[in-house]
Amino acid sequence: MNESSERAKRAAALIAQCWRDASKRGDLPESARPRTLAEGYRAQAQLPAAMDDSVVGYKLAATAAAGQRHLGVDGPVIGRLLASRVASDGATLAMQGNRMLVAECEFVFKLARDLPPRDTPYDRDEVMAAVQSLHPGLEIPDSRFTDFASAGAAQLAADNACAHWMVVGPATPANWRDVDLARHATCLHINGQIAVRGRGEDVLGDPRNALTWLANQFAVLGEGLRAGQLVTTGVTGRPGAISSADRISADLGEFGKVTAQV
């Protein structure tokens, strides 16, 4: 195993330990710290094995300028959705160690067929033709770094793009393909009160743009996107502050909503 691979494996082991212990840490030690974004993603690719978990899809963080400023990055960051951290509508979520304490309303796509790596990029129509369904999504993010805003893009990639919990609602029966998703309104409710309003355009201009962007990140994804995987495209509006015992709903209007208790 070369030095870069050893560094990635050490980084994943340290991140996994923090996740299991619900603990935080400062920067990764020099022997494990990714020096580039590519090295950060190599560490992330080792995380499922370190967590003894499987990948069921991907998440996007920092798909809006405000999120990029908040995390101290200059573009979107990709994370893997781990099977044990994806919950269904109505779930009760353990929040031990979570310091971000925010919730996000998101569009989630489920793929019907593979989008493998290829020499030419996919256009949006091709990507959307590969989508099976649209779902409301509620993300509860967190970081394993004490100061995630100064960790930098490489370490945040190793930290799985601040993934923590993802709650996915049922597929919408509405005819979402004929709707302008960029203009579609969303709402985050906390304890029955409106906390955040957003629109699809908050996500790289349109959640369909976000999915297309991800489909073309072959260097990060390796094998590309696969049938059955979920992709959550990033926060609409902004993250809403939460606290212990809150009941939270991500509401996509005619496309349905998903609720969780923390």
pLDDT per position as a tens digit, 198-250: 999 999 999 999 999 999 998 788 889 999 999 999 999 999 999 989 999 99
Side-chain half-sphere CA neighbours of 96 within 13 A:
7
1 pLDDT exceeds 70? no
Q: What is the mean pLDDT of the chain?
A: 94
Q: Give a yes or no: residue 16 inside a domain.
A: no
pLDDT for 86 beyond 90: yes
Q: Rounded to the nearest 10 degrees, what angle do helices 37-51 and 3-21 cross at?
A: 50
Beta bridge partners of 186: 198
Count other C-beta atoms under 10 Å from residue 194's C-beta: 11
Residue 228 in any domain: the answer is: yes
The confidence band for 69, taking pLDDT boundaries of 50, 70 and 90, is confident
Question: Does some domain include residue 132?
Answer: yes
Q: For residue 207, is it within any domain?
A: yes
Residue 3's pLDDT band, with cuts at 50, 70 and 90, is confident
50 pLDDT exceeds 70? yes
Neighbouring CB atoms inside 10 A of 13's CB total 16
* Mean pLDDT in residue range 135-139: 98
The reply to whether 148 falls in a domain is yes
The average pLDDT across 104-132 equals 97
Which of 103, 35, 150, 57 is CA-nearest to residue 43?
Answer: 35
When pLDDT is averaged across residues 11-15 and rounded to a whole number, the result is 97
Query: What was the pLDDT predicted at 202?
Result: 95
Contact 235, 106 (CB under 8 A): yes
> Residue 159: which domain range?
53-261
Q: Is 177 left (phi over 0), alpha (psi -120 to 50) or beta?
A: alpha
pLDDT score at 221: 85
CATH number of the domain that residue 66 is part of: 3.90.850.10
Whether residue 230 is contained in a domain is answered as yes
Per-residue pLDDT averaged across 4-29, rounded? 94
Look at residue 42 and tell me if it is in a domain. no
> Strands 55-61, 230-241: parallel, antiparallel or unpaired by DSSP?
parallel
| Segments of 26-180 assigned E as strands | 55-61, 77-82, 86-88, 91-92, 102-111, 131-140, 165-168
Element (H, E) at 100: none
The answer on pLDDT for 156 being more than 90 is: yes
Phi, psi values for residue 178, rounded to 5°: -95, 10
Task: State the Cα angle at 217 between 45 and 62, rounded to 5°.
Answer: 80
pLDDT of 68 higher than 80: no
Q: Please tell me the total count of domains within the chain.
A: 1
Give pLDDT, residue 71.
Answer: 67
Tell me whether residue 28 is in a domain. Answer: no
pLDDT above 90 as % of the chain = 86
User: Lowest-pLDDT range, 3-12, 176-185, 245-254?
Assistant: 3-12
Per-residue pLDDT for 124 more than 70? yes
Whether 55 and 82 have beta carbons less than 8 Å apart is answered as: yes
Whole-number Cα distances in Å, 226 to 94, 121, 131, 132 = 29, 16, 11, 12
Place of tokens 């302008």: 180
Has this prediction a pTM greater than 0.85?
yes
The average pLDDT across 154-172 equals 96
User: What pLDDT score does 70 carry?
Assistant: 66
Cα(229)–Cα(216) distance, integer angstroms:
15
Q: Nearest 5°: CA angle at 145, between 83 and 161?
A: 45
